[in-house]
Structure 1
């Protein structure tokens, strides 16, 4: 089935907005301007072969076997063999959306004309994306140096008719799926197997997916934090722009402005502007701009790194058609992604941690001034006692997952590849962390909405009341204890779908990926 949307990628110039579109389901094609460089690069490989110059992976073995020269008659077999031997991943299949993003990233990388692949190889990637044919790629097996070899080998295997392909939710043998789509299995030319396998696209795809979801999490947590501030009758004075201008952090200034704008027009806030005996709110309310601003700054730094990485060429060796040289280097080493992913893990962890502290504050009558555990009849009812425990459990799980992966390394390939990035580990753990934080934010929304119920008939701002109505549409106010899981699950779905953000004015929120 043809997909209606397609991003036209200019190699080296693709935007985060385009990668987000592919992640959301768009296909991808190369801009026609890429063709001359691709053709020139493939021709350069042919000239190298004709000169019988030894070039790693073109007419030699791989890794520790690089010193073994391969006869001309075996070069096609060499490229097929590297795909088959390296397709050694294990674990659950990588989600389809991640694999498609990985394929698009590989397409853009090869399309820069530094990898020595033919136009037909790129056309196969485009066709798979257009027809919704997704290679089944086990999610474990890469250490993030010498490229994401095993995952990318599974992608390449499907292109030559080996392994499995998923289409419309069904998994089929790759050869059968290609035949049904009227696609002939690719026959790899010199250098092409290596070019497909070598690169950081698996790690980059996971990291980009996490970046896009982390932006939604960040924005939603600003909304839930503002609603909790209202529930606790907290002050908006800590969001005064003069405070943040003195510290000068742009992201902190933006976070404060977002919180301030979310509360603008609140009757709840107006009710305690004067004669409030409290001098200062707890840190979980008062320091939201500082914590969330710091998280935003870290996410933006990661976004900058990933935007560059996504536009880079990360295989090896690289072909320079203008001079006819093949240069061996280490662009496949995914340390930039590992660092970016580790930074994101810290931000995700802290977003959830701050939200949980606000939940704990709301259920504690000595801090919030609300009934104990947000129930009208505490004792007979436990109210939000255990939802706060659930949030605490999720936050602690995220703390454990936040340990930096980039500090780990293990030698591979008989010590030829003796330092690796662990970028796949760093990136793959981010989406589960975001899922945990999503649940914490959902519990906070429920608790904050419940807290605001006690202030009736006073209402919050128009934007926050719209959020509260959306929550209440799936989870009525808690008067007596009931089965809590359905309420939490329903609000988690609202968080993940973006409906909470839509209700709260997503277009007015700070962006992580500022190019759209």
Structure 2
């Protein structure tokens, strides 16, 4: 795989996933280093003029009125030590890599004043696989600086790192990777940490996962329509044009393509339950929400979000609120609600498939009947999963307290909004797995049913992981390999 080249613009969600999950290397064009050098010289010149610069010659937060005395470089190390307050479970390596790359992408825009050598140290650590051990709790979304200190400390040889699958002191990891600790010039410590790179990097991974889960949900919905003999006129493009709601035309087209066949089928019903009939609307709303979250993430990836911000062309250093990610948090709160709505419809279709025999299918999808439980016990599991998804869909971006003596009296909770959205996607995929299982079973129980080429491939993919139910057996364990395929990127239909 060729290296990903940072130019200071054009970084995408797909770029983040390739670096985070596929260990893609990162190169930097000379223009970026020149931009960083120019901004560093502006910062030094403005500082020498006596201007107050937040985090360079002043304290942080409520200490912003306190002047930094003595060695300004030593203050940067003190700044990192004093803000290493994160706790809890450590972030997965892929999230750490996404965060490191996101920060490098942001820094390449050139607004931080970060020393070029420190930037180079960050990129080298990422390419060498020196991954800081980053606790997950500590950011309220007014920048992720408490979490980000783990990265900065590893670059100076402090803290712990994960290297080649082993947790060790950062200095040892750097030595084994043949790297040396960086030296911090004034403001370098703040430039490394005062950004929303955790939110942005993990947000990019969540968007990628939401896109793949949506495609799988479209497949499950199409197989359900086949199994129930649903009325396919709901997918007619003229209906979508009549009410061109967000994403609806795209969602309907995807399902039309999956269900496409030469012959025309006579529907079994005039109108199907809403979880089936309204799939284009439900999935379309999710398509729009994913798109908005993707746009919000990519704005952050390509933005100079530092405070203070160095305006290299104007020779100025100005305080900003660019680290504040209200729009990013709102995008992921919206995405979470859209996922919850889609998951609820998925669960409803599972109940339709596995309930009574009114759809012309055997009760509980059991081929033996009588006292057989068939698929009906899984209705409880589905209901439990949906309840967890709905719980996580509750917004958190307004849940903050004023901190730092009231100087920081607003927050976005973006990391939490992104994290709970990612957790919802994991649960939603489990519902998709159950719908696929039930729809495949229903197809098997319909004598003489000939599937469309698209849905036939979906059915075969399910059967590659789960065999048809012929008598009662533990269906929970049966679902695990199918879920693992959906979640792990091995799913092909």
Question: Shorter-chain TM-score: which interval?
Answer: over 0.9
Q: Report the counterpart of residue 508 of structure 1 in structure 2.
A: none
Deviation at 1:250, TM superposition (A): 5.5
Distance 1:167 1:339 in 2: 35
In structure 2, C-alpha distance between the alignment counterparts of 1:194 and 1:65, rounded to whole Å = 14
Counterparts of 1:433-448 in structure 2, within 5 Å, are: 433-448=424-439
Any conservation in 1 of the 2:13–2:205 contact (CA below 8 Å)?
Answer: no
Q: Does 1:159 align with 2:155?
A: yes
- Which residue of 2 is the match for residue 82 of structure 1? 79
Aligned to 1:453: 444
Q: Which residue of 1 aligns with 2:297?
A: 306
Residue 261 (structure 2) aligns with = 265
Which secondary structure state, in structure 1, belongs to the residue aligned with residue 377 of structure 2? helix
Preserved contact between residue 255 and residue 293 of structure 1 (Cα < 8 Å): yes
Q: Distance in 2 between matches of 1:449 and 1:498?
A: 20
For residues 37-186 of structure 1, the aligned pairs below 5 Å read 37-71=35-69, 73-145=70-142, 147-186=143-182
SS in 2 for 1:368: coil
Q: Is 2:7–2:32's contact at 8 Å kept on the other side of the alignment?
A: yes
Whole-angstrom distance in 1 between the partners of 2:262 and 2:218: 16
Alignment check: 8 A CA contact 2:109 2:302 kept: no
Cα distance in 2 for partners of 1:77, 1:205 equals 29
Give the counterpart of 1:383 among 368, 371, 374.
374
Equivalent position to 1:472, from 438, 463, 472: 463
Quote the RMSD (CA, aligned, Å): 1.6
Secondary structure, in 3 states, of the residue corresponding to 1:467?
A: helix
Matches for 1:472-511 after TM superposition, within 5 Å: 472-500=463-491, 502-503=492-493
1:406-459, CA deviations, whole angstroms, 9 ceiling, x for partnerless residues? 222211111110101111110111221111000000000000000000113322
Deviates more, 1:246-255 or 1:419-428: 246-255
1:191-202 to structure 2, matched below 5 A, reads: 191-202=187-198
Query: TM-score normalized by structure 2?
Result: 0.96
Q: Structure 2: state its 5+ residue gaps.
A: none
2: distance between equivalents of 1:441 and 1:93?
28
Structure 2 CA distance for aligned equivalents of residues 431 and 12 of structure 1: 26
CA distance in 2, matches of 1:188, 1:432: 37
Q: Distance in 2 between matches of 1:15 and 1:488?
A: 33
Q: Distance in 1 between matches of 2:31 and 2:398?
A: 40
Q: Which moved more, 1:444-453 or 1:286-295?
A: 286-295
Compare 202-211 and 215-224 and name the one that shifted more: 202-211
| Structure 1, unaligned runs of 5 or more | 504-516
For residue 242 of structure 2, what is the aligned residue in structure 1? 246
Which of 212, 226, 234 matches 2:230? 234
With normalisation by structure 1, the TM-score equals 0.92
1:14 paired residue among 4, 11, 20: 11
Q: Which among 367, 386, 402 is matched to residue 393 of structure 2?
A: 402
1:322–1:263 distance in 2 versus 1, CA, 3 Å: closer
Match of 1:513 in 2: none
